[in-house]
Structure 1
Amino acid sequence: MAAAGAMEPAPSGAVATPSPASAPAPATSTLFRPISAEDEEQQPTEIESLCMNCYRNGMTRLLLTKIPFFREIIVSSFSCEHCGWSNTDIQSAGRIQEQGVRYTLTVKAQQDMNREVVKTDSATTRIPELDFEIPAFSQKGALTTVEGLISRAVSGLEQDQPIRRVKEEAMAGRIDEFIVKLKELKQVSSPFTLIIDDPSGNSFVENPYAPQKDDALVITHYNRTLQQEEMLGLQTEAPGEKADEEDLRNEVLQFNTNCPECNAPAQTNMKLVQIPHFKEVIIMATNCENCGHRTNEVKSGGAVELLGTRITFHITDPSDMTRDLLKSETCSIEIPELEFELGMAVLGGKFTTLEGLLKDIRDLVTKNPFTLGDSFSPDQAQKLQEFSQKLDQILEGSMKVHFIMDDPAGNSYLQNVYAPEDDPEMKVEHYKRTFDQNEELGLNDMKTEGYETGLSPQQ
C-alpha cells in the first residue's frame, strides 16, 4: 500500500531536513513524495519542531511502517538536545475500521511481557484482577510492549505523588500500595488478564505464533454503540433517518372537506398518535368556521386483532373519570347496574376520557328527539330522568358501577394508571370471535392469501 503526501509542509519557523542516509532529491522533486510502508530501506523523515518542555527547537522523526499481520501506522518520535525531554506517539495510517476490537490477553509467562502492543488514543486498557482501568483519550497512542504499557501506567501514577504526599497523604499511601501491585505484575508471579478495548478497531496485540492461533489471546470484533460512534466523531445514518420519521409522525396533516352540517368548505386535521402500552391510532378533527360545527373521530392505526377484547372496569373513585379511553367503531358499551347497553357503531370512534364518554352517552339518551314531545309517556320520562340522575352520580363518584367495553376487533383501550403493573380494578379478557362476530366485521368473506386463484379472466 503506497501513501502519497504523507509529509505536510512545515509550519512557519520549522525546517524540514531530509535524513542523512537518504539520497539527494532531484532538482525537479517536490516537498510531497510517495512513500510505502513496504519499503525496507525507507528512512525516517526529520522535522525541526518546538520542544513543549523548554520551548527550544528539537527534532521530530516520522516513519511510516507496517506491523506484520496488522496494518500500517505512523510512528513519531521527538527528542530535545537542550533539556533531554522526549516523547513518542503513533497514529493509524488507515481509516477507522468498520467494527471495534477487543483483545483479551492472559499473561502467564515472562515472554508474554515482551509482546508488542499498539494502543491508540481511543483504546481503553483494563486489568480486571486489580480493578484497574486506563480510560480512552487519557493517554496518547503508543507502540510499546505489555511491560512498557504497565511501566507507563506506573510512571503516570508516580508523577504527582510528591504533591499528593503533601496535600492528601492518605490517598498518596493508597496509590503507593497500588503502584507496588502494578510492579509485581512485571514478575508474572501469577497469571493476570490484560484487556485492550478499542472502538476504532486500530489497536493491536502481537501474536508471536502467527499465523497459528494463540491460545492466550482472544480477539473479539463488535459493532460500535451510538455513544462510541459519537466519541469517535462519526455520524451514523440511522439516527438521522429515525429523526425524519419522528418528525413525520409528529406532523399534523390537513386536507380539504365539506362540513357535514352546512356543507361549507372546511378543513380536517389528521394525526397519528401512539397510545402508551397500546397501539397507534389516527385522530381526525373537523372545525367549520362557517357554522361552528366541530367533530372528531378516531380510527385504529393497525389491523383487526386475532382475538377480541373485553375490558371490565370497576369505577370506585372520582379520579377514574380522568382515564384516557379509546372506543373504536366496533366497540359496544355496557353498564350492568343501570341495565344499559350501547351497541357498536353508536357514537362512532372516540378518543376521550371516561368522563367524556359518559357525558356523550347522557347527551345521546336525554337529547334524543324520539324521547321528547307529547307522544312520550310519563313512565318513560320518569325512567329517563332516573337514568340521567344515576349517570350524574357516576360522574360525581358517588355511585360505584362496572363499565364494560366489548370490542370483537380488539382495537379499544382503557388507560391503566398502574401500567406496566396490573390494575386491581380492571380485567382485560381476550377471546376468540364467533362466526357471527366475524361476519359482522366482514372477515368471513375476506381472503388475504391465494386470492389470485379462481379468478376468471375478464372478457
Structure 2
Amino acid sequence: MSLIPDENVRGGSLFKDISADDEDWQPTVIESLCMNCYKNGTTRLLLTKIPFFKEIIVSSFSCDHCSWANTEIQSAGRIQDQGICYTLQIKSKQDLNREVVKADSATTRIPELEFEIPPFTQKGSLSTIEGLLDRAVAGLEQEQPVRRATDPEVAEKIEEFIQKLKKLKDVEREFTLVIEDPSGNSFVENPQAPQKDEALTVTRFKRSIEQDKMLGIRADDDDSVQEEGAADDLEGMMGEVMVFKTNCPECNASTSTNMKLVQIPHFKEVVIMATSCDSCGHRTNEVKSGGGTEELGTRITLHITSSSDMTRDLLKSETCSVLIPELEFELGMAAVGGKFTTVEGMLTDIKELTVSKNPFMCGDSHSKEQMKKMTEFAEKLDKIIAGEMAVHLVLDDPVGNSYLQNVHVPDPDPQITMEKYTRTFEQNEELGLNDMKVEGYQEESLTELAFD
C-alpha cells in the first residue's frame, strides 16, 4: 500500500494549503508499531504547506493500548542555499507567545544558562517560545526517576537546572534564545512586522563542510572546497541564453532554468535567471552580479516624490537591505533574493511578502491588532506607489552590487544620494570575507600546475 497520496486525485500536487473547506484533503492513516508497548498503533500523515517554511509533513501517532502519543513535523522542502540564525532577546512574557518553526537540524541555545539542544536530538516542531521551553523541561524530566535511583547527585543537579528553565517562563530578567539552523528551514515570528524587530536579529551564513555532511548533501569522504561556478569568458556569454535542468523549488518536479548575461548601462554585468514550472505553475526570477565583491559598500537613497519615480530601474542584489525610514520598515538581505525590477515592482514585492504571504496574518494565528497594523502599512505602500506620499527608499548593499537608475545621466540626479562606506568586521564575517584568502592565490595555483 502506498503511503503517498495519488497526485492525480489531489489535483496535481502532493502538498496543499491547510483549508477547512477542503473535505477531500484527509490525512493518510497507517498502522505502525508503538515504541512504548510494542503493539500496533495508528500514525496519521498530512502533507501541507506553510509559508516561509515550504512544504512539511505533519505526523501524529497514538496507541490505544498504552495511550502513548507523539506528534512531529518534518520539512519536505529543499535545503536552502544558506543557513540561518535567529537571536532573540526575550524581555517580557509576551515574547514567549512568538511562533517558532524549529527544524530537526537546528541547534537551540540559551547562553545565560549555558544550555544547548544539539541538532537531530529533537524532532522538528511548530510551536511557541514557551512550547520550546516546556519541551526542553519534559525531555530532562523524562529520565529523572531512573537518575534518582542510580545517581542521586546527578539527579539533584539536573532538578536544579530544570527549575531554572521553568523560572525563565516568568521572565523575571531578560534572556537570549538562539536558533541556528544550517538547513535554513527554521523560522521565528516577528510580531512587529512590517517594522523591524529590535529584539530579533536574523543572520544568514554559508555552511561549513561539516554541516554539509551532517545534512547529507555532501559525502563523508568529500573534504574539497566547493566554489560556485563562474563563466570563464563573460564576454562570450553576453546575449546568449543558456538553459540547464533543475528541480522546481515548490513541487520538486523536473524543470528548466534560463540564464542570460546582461550589461546594465553605467553599471556592470548581471546574470538573470528565470524558472517556470509546467507542473505547478510556479515562476521565479533571480539576479546575481556578474562581477566580484566591491572594496566598499554602497548605500543608495532615493527621495520618492511622485508616481514617475516608480518607473526607475532597480537592481537589488541578494546581499542588499531595503529601508523606508518614514514607515520604520527594514527588509533584510536575502529576504526576497536578487531582483532586477522597477521601484514599483520592489514596493509591490514588499507588500506581498509582508502582508499577502505572511502566514501570521491569516487563520487562527492573526490578531485584530496585527491585521490592522498590516492593513495600514499596505495602504501607505499604495499611496507611495500612487505618488501621494513622499518617502525615502534606501538600498544598503555592503557588497556594492546594487543599482538604481539615474534618469538625469550623465548629470547627477538630485533625488538620489549615493554613499560609499567601509564594511564592518561583522559584515565581512557574515559575507564570509574574513576567512577568504586572495593573496598569492594565482602564484600558488601556477606552482601546483607546474608540479602536476
Specify the TM-score bucket, using the shorter chain as the normaliser.
Answer: 0.3 to 0.5
> Which structure has the larger Rg over C-alpha atoms?
1
TM-score (norm 1): 0.44
